[in-house]
Structure 1
Amino acid sequence: MLDISQNQLTKIPDGAFEMLQQLKNLDLSSNQISHISKDSFLGLVQLERLYLYGNQIQNIQTGAFESLQNLLELKLQENLLISLPVLSFPRLLLLDLSYNNIPALGPADLEIPHLEALKVSSLGLTSLDANLIASLVNLHYLDISMNQLVEVPSALRQDSLKGLIRLNLAGNPLRELKVEDFHKLSGLQELDLSGLNLQSIPQGLLDNFPRLVHLTAAENPFNCLCPLAWFSVWLREKALNLERPEETRCHFPLVNAGKMLSELEYKDFGCLHTTTVRVSQSTFESDVATDPSPIHTNSTSRPFLQVSEPSSMVSSVSTQTTDSDPHQCAVPCHNGGRCQVDQLGQRSCQCPVGTAGVYCETREDPLKPWSTDMPVVVPISSRHVTATSILLDLHGFIQTQPHIRGIRLTYRNLSGPDHRPIILRVPASYPEYTLRGLRPNCTYSVCASPLMEKVLRLNSSGEMLSCTEARTASSSPAPQEPRFTTPGPQSGSGKPALAALAVLLGLALLAGTVLCVRSKRTKAGLELETGSSEAPSPAASEHSASASQQQPDSVTAVSSQHNHSSVGELYLSNNNVRLKPAHV
């Protein structure tokens, strides 16, 4: 692995990595690279992961990726690309092109038969090519969020998407969903419908997804009237996770405005009839059960429906009269509307200018999506801690802040005398980040705060922070490091122990002097005694190994002219690095 991310690289010299034929992972993200030439990655025949996101790449020459036939992941998001060369990868599994300006993609652009994850968020797409999707028969994850799609793409109605597990449609101006748009997606487990300006979800739409586990419907101006009542019951019946429930709220009618959709009862939706609601595994049923006894009416009493309550009943609403006040509609009119009675005696709402709907519940200029005054801060956590590193989990922190541009990480050592903070800036596309170069057996405090256009604050004294603490492990001693123990009772004088320690230190000093003298003699060409019980020095071992080349089992000496290191990872991240071919 070679990590040169978060530096100030402006270009990649041709053939810079040509000698690294065993390299598997190359991270060049968060630099200032503007151009990829056809020889930038020459020689990287074993490369599996290439990260180029967060740069300023404007063009990629044809053939730039020609030698990368073993590539599994390619991340090009957050660049300045307006077009692509033909991307042909026989083994590629993940391709991320998000946050560029590529308004159209076709099957001729992507020749990737085994692709499993395609992320094309915020490209400016107005449609999704059906032939492109048909060619991706192994697709499991599709992210087409934050584009300009005004309807659900017809490309999603193909049989090739039966294996799709995750679909993200968030942030498109759809305004309406149709049940038939999702008939082929029976394998979905995660669906994101947030920020689509939806006022309702058609009944039966979610029955297309029997395996659904995670559903996100936040930031939509939901109209919480009777047509949406089924959704509240469905949420209670199904064992799934409604993501961001605090942002999934009603906007209409006024009596429900601002209420969390997941907390509403069926009766809160103002349905006109007493209803027994029964939810099965695949369908939503609504029926009226009446008492077999006759209903008697007179001038002083109002007819009503008596509802039986079988054990399968989920919920029922209060009874509704068929004869009501002539000056009052069945459901109150909203937004200043007035109830009126026509010549046939039917009541309806007369809506003022700028409103529409049966109950004047819709405004021509929709209200802005509800948002919390105090953003919910999901804490960061540490997942893997070693003696010198801490792996941070930033998934939740990023997901709860859709407008985040980056993350400011601030960490400090609480165990040492120097508590000065170290500050790093991490792209928002890093769901995990590893702090390296830490001291063993120390407690570190790590805080994350967002880098955004408008900094959100929880109070007047500081930014929105999420903090955690982690303690690095103790470093194990080297194999040759001596350990001293001083036997004796815990109580009493420590002078005998100190005296014994002084004697041992003196012997160690004497032994070191002997070894040093013998090492010098070895360099002068003197032979070591083969029967010596003392371990030879590293220099003597190397000389002895090189002198016994005739023995097949001997250790081969490392030449100073060809000193190829066996270290498998090299991290040069967050340094002022300049690449030259000879250096790498």
Structure 2
Amino acid sequence: MKPFLPLLLLLLLYSLLTSCALASKCPKDCSCSSPDSIICFARLGKTVPSKVPTSTKNLYVFQNGIEALKQDDFIGLENLEMLDLSQNKLTELPDRVFEPLSSLRNLDLSNNRITHISQESFAGLELLERLYLHSNTIKSIHPAAFDGLEQLLELKLQGNGLTTMPTLKMPHLLLLDLRFNKIPLPSPDGLRTPKLESLKLGGLGLRTLDDTLLSGFKNLHELDISNNQLNAFPPVLQEARGLVILSLAGNPMSPLNWKDFENFKELQELDISNLSLQNLPENMTQLFPHLKKLTVAENPFNCLCSLAWFPGWLRNQQIVLGRKEETRCHFPPRNAGKVLERLGHRDFGCPTRTVIPVSTVKTTTLAPSLITTLHITTHGVQPVKPSEAFNAETDSYAQPPIPATPSSSPDLDMRRNGCPSNICLNGGTCRLNYQNHFECTCPQWTSGRYCENEEDLALFENVSTPKILWVGEINAQMVTSSSILLDLYRYIEMRPYIRGVKLTYSNLSGLDKRPKQLNIPASYPEYTLRGLLPNSTYFICASPLGEPSDVDSVCIEAQTSDQQVFSGRVEEPQLTTMLVPAVAILLLLVLVAVAVGVACFMRRKKTHLELYCDPSQLELDGVKVGLDNGALPTKQPEVSSSTAAMQNGCLDYEAPLIANNMSSLKPS
């Protein structure tokens, strides 16, 4: 062990000397984590830092408040390969300002205030490979501004005010992003980029696509034509059979003709958001055998049985659903607003699938019929047990068995199903009765003519389902009474230039409404606000880190719960707490009914006349107070079949649906 001590001391001494040397050469208010990289983040200074070592290869000077550049700022930095000047306050680029940077390969000038690109703004950058100019206010570019950039691989110009585009003569360009400008569709002569792989033309207001636009691109793999005015599927896309990523989102081209997609067998990512789609074809696997990511957000889906295959298909094919929180149902009302991916098979209202083997019809004993007021006649139909409702091997509907001979049991004479498609909801089974009228056999947790009323599950609906609030680019999910989970994925995805997110939140319900701030890195698409007050409304805003709160800010309101939200069943003590006052109120109503009935009976006996009770007798103190205080739930629009009418004397009223409305009662 002792021979290693001198070596260990020498290594420690070397590291200390190296760190001291780096610290002595590091510019003021900057960080020098390695000999060739300098990071100056949120540095207070209006100019580029001075005394940068000549050996520096990567210089990050973003969010510094730099207002102007001059050529002297970069003299001696011939070895610099990466220069990040994003998120500053630059308004212009002087001619030949970057000429000393002869080895520069990456230049990021995004999120500044540049308005014009001159002919010699990038003179001397013959080796430049990536040029990022997005999120500025550029309105004009000199026709020869990019002539010397023949080695350029990526050019990003999205989010500016361009009305015209210069001719691009870039033989090696792979990515061109022109989204959200005011330029017309580029002509094939204006894009002399034969090796282009990614072309992004979203948000340009295009109404058509030139038939010759894509003919010159033999290696095009990604195409974004989202948020335009295309009212039909562009026929020119049929020539782009090698596409791997395609975005058609936000165009008024609904309904889609899925035959137009038959040639896109290589597609791996597809975005068809905001196209007013109500359904999706069940043969998605045949259309897109290599699909890995699908985005169908902001569509008014009809979450009926015809779409029940979709959540399971995503899981089985291991396909990522983009913007899942914004992929919700629009119809029917019981599914409206629910996240499509989280629905179970029975939530789509599909009928129960029944299979009875033909070979065992004569020997199999069927389940007893449900209790009903109708007597089973020789034409009655015997319902099938739930355990026999579905066959995993065939995954299909079964036809009721037909007796082989008239000598078969007449009570088991089942006719072939002539019911309308999907008439029974929530997994109910349709059948024909002896009067040739269809009836629905409902599961135990549903009721109604069409099994439309959910009874027992409604007790837990408000507890097990978290409240989701979605507004624009951020959404909030209420998880407990003291925390809110924020989803910032879309906000960060639409702003790839930001280095972090500043969260500002304040309690609108409490006495202290002073805003609080948190800074989180851009690598955190989800963040949980903790230590909040229960039953309070919070106003939450997200903005780019380092900018004023009113710059590019997106805000929402979210409310914490007044009690703990559980992901599973309701705990027994809480259920008991709700049942005690409900049962007490029900007993009070029964006593009132008995008292009124007895009074009417005594009055009838005394006068020997046929008298009817006045409905105003319900205005007793006990009943009236209970109704005014909201202790009893209001009458439901559709009365459950399990609700019994109570006849007591001349008093006729329906029992309150306490069992079906426990979620509306608060614990005493």
Cα distance in structure 2, aligned partners of 1:209 and 1:224: 22
2-structure distance, mates of 1:431, 1:100: 28
**Corresponding residue SS for 2:336:** coil
Compute the displacement of 1:398 (Å).
4.1
The answer for the alignment partner of 2:155 in structure 1 is 74
Match for 2:176: what amino acid? L
CA distance in 1, matches of 2:314, 2:234: 26
Alignment of 1:56-135 (within 5 A): 56-135=137-216
State the partner residue of 1:456: 556
8 Å contact 1:128–1:155 — kept in the other structure?
yes
Change beyond 3 A, Cα 1:431–1:156: farther
After TM superposition, the structure 1 stretch with the greater mean CA deviation from structure 2, 260-269 or 137-146, is 260-269
Deviation at 1:269, TM superposition (A): 3.3
1:215 counterpart residue number: 294
Range 196-205 or range 309-318, more displaced: 309-318
Kindly report which structure 2 residues correspond to 1:193-232, keeping only aligned pairs within 5 A, or say none.
193-232=272-311
Q: Distance in 2 between matches of 1:58 and 1:255?
A: 50
**Are the equivalent residues in 2 in contact too, given 1:376–1:400 (CA < 8 A)?**
no
Indicate how the Cα distance of structure 1 residues 257 and 7 shifts in structure 2: closer, same or farther if over 3 A, else same. closer
SS at match of 1:155: helix
CA contact (8 A) 1:266 1:315 kept: no
Match in the other structure for 2:423: 331
1:200, distance to aligned residue in structure 2 (A): 0.8
Structure 1: gaps spanning 5 or more residues: 277-287, 334-344, 348-358, 360-369, 379-395, 412-420, 434-446, 461-584
Question: % of aligned pairs identical?
Answer: 41
Secondary structure of the residue that 1:133 maps to in structure 2? coil
Contact 2:205 2:229 in 1 (8 A): yes
Which residue of structure 1 lines up, in the alignment, with residue 480 of structure 2? none
Q: Which residue of 2 aligns with 1:572?
A: none
1:59-111 per-residue CA deviation (whole Å, 9 max, x = no partner) reads: 11211110000001111111101121111210011111111112423322211
Tell me how far apart the structure 2 counterparts of residues 126 and 45 of structure 1 sit (CA, whole Å): 37
Structure-2 residue corresponding to 1:263: 342
User: Could you tell me whether the CA contact under 8 Å between 2:93 and 2:114 is conserved in 1?
Assistant: yes
**For residues 175 and 247 of structure 2, what CA distance do their matches in structure 1 show?**
16
Corresponding residue for residue 358 of structure 2: 291
**Which 5+ residue runs of structure 2 have no aligned equivalent?**
1-81, 367-375, 401-413, 426-435, 439-449, 451-466, 478-486, 504-515, 526-539, 544-550, 561-668
Taking the aligned partners of 1:5 and 1:42, their CA distance within structure 2 comes to 20
Kindly indicate whether the alpha-carbon contact (under 8 Å) linking 2:110 and 2:497 is maintained by their aligned counterparts in 1: no
Structure 1 residues 310 and 88 mapped into 2: Cα distance closer, same or farther (>3 Å)? same
CA contact (8 A) 1:179 1:204 kept: no
- Secondary structure, aligned partner of 1:132: coil
3-state SS of paired residue (1:200): coil
Deviation at 1:311, TM superposition (A): 4.7
Match of 1:235 among 314, 329, 333: 314
Higher helix proportion: 2
Q: Which amino acid aligns with 1:203?
A: E
Matches within 5 A, 1:397-476: 397-399=488-490, 409=501, 449-450=542-543, 452=552, 454-458=554-558
Amino acid at match of 1:27: D
Instruction: Output the amino acid matched with 1:67.
Output: G
Residues 304, 321 of structure 1: 8 Å contact kept = no
Q: Cα deviations across residues 211-245 of structure 1 (Å, max 9, x unaligned)?
A: 11122222211012233233344234322222333
- Checking the alignment, whether the CA contact within 8 Å between 2:541 and 2:556 is kept in structure 1 is no
Name the CA distance, whole Å, in 1 between partners of 2:190 and 2:252. Answer: 26
Answer yes or no: is the 8 Å Cα contact 1:50–1:74 preserved in 2: yes
Residue 3 and residue 425 in structure 1: after superposition, are their counterparts in 2 closer, same or farther (change >3 A)? farther
- Counterpart position of 1:144: 225
CA distance in 2, matches of 1:43, 1:432: 38
- Give the Cα separation in 2 of the matches to 1:82 and 1:317: 63
1:20 and 2:101 correspond: yes
Aligned pairs for 1:147-546 within 5 A: 147-158=228-239, 160-162=240-242, 164-271=243-350, 291=358, 300-302=379-381, 311-313=392-394, 331=423, 372-373=469-470, 375-376=474-475, 397-399=488-490, 409=501, 449-450=542-543, 452=552, 454-458=554-558
Letter in 1 for 2:309: W
Give the number of equivalent residue pairs.
Answer: 370
**TM-score, scaled to structure 1:** 0.54
Q: Deviations over 1:369-408 (max 9, x none)?
A: x983485469xxxxxxxxxxxxxxxxx8342678879866
Name the structure 2 match of 1:443.
none
CA separation of 1:269 and 1:449: change in aligned 2, threshold 3 A:
closer
User: Contact 2:117/2:145 (CA < 8 Å) preserved in 1?
Assistant: yes
Partner residue of 2:84? Answer: 3
Matches within 5 A, 1:572-583: none
Q: What SS does structure 1 have at the residue aligned with 2:270?
A: strand
Q: Pick closer, same or farther for the CA change 1:199–1:371 going to 2, 3 Å.
A: farther
| 1:135 to partner: Cα distance | 1.9
Q: Deviations over 1:99-151 (max 9, x none)?
A: 11124233222111111122222111222333222322212222222222223
Q: CA deviation at 1:57?
A: 0.9
Shift in Å, 1:331 = 3.1
C-alpha distance in structure 2 between counterparts of 1:315 and 1:233, whole Å: 16
Aligned to 2:654: none
Equivalent residue letter for 2:490: Q
Q: Which has the higher contact order (CA 8 A, sep 6+)?
A: 1
Q: Which moved more, 1:201-210 or 1:312-321?
A: 312-321
Letter in 1 for 2:192: E
Matched, 1:51 2:132: yes
* 8 Å contact from structure 2 (residues 326, 470) kept in 1: no
Aligned pair in 2 of structure 1 residues 321, 269: CA closer, same or farther (>3 Å)?
farther
Alignment deviations for residues 324-383 of structure 1 (CA, whole Å, 9 cap, x no partner): 99xx996389xxxxxxxxxxx999xxxxxxxxxxx9xxxxxxxxxx983485469xxxxx
In 2, the alpha carbon distance for the partners of 1:247 and 1:317 equals: 37
What TM-score comes out, normalization by structure 2 length? 0.48
SS at match of 2:289: coil
- 315-324 or 40-49: bigger deviation: 315-324
Q: What is residue 566 of structure 1 aligned with on the other side?
A: none
Return the alpha-carbon distance in structure 1 between the equivalents of residues 167 and 335 of structure 2. 52
8 Å CA contact 1:156, 1:184 repeated in 2:
no
Deviation at 1:161, TM superposition (A): 2.9
Distance 1:266 1:318, change over 3 A: farther
Q: Secondary structure at the match of 1:29?
A: coil
Distance 1:324 1:422 in 2: 64
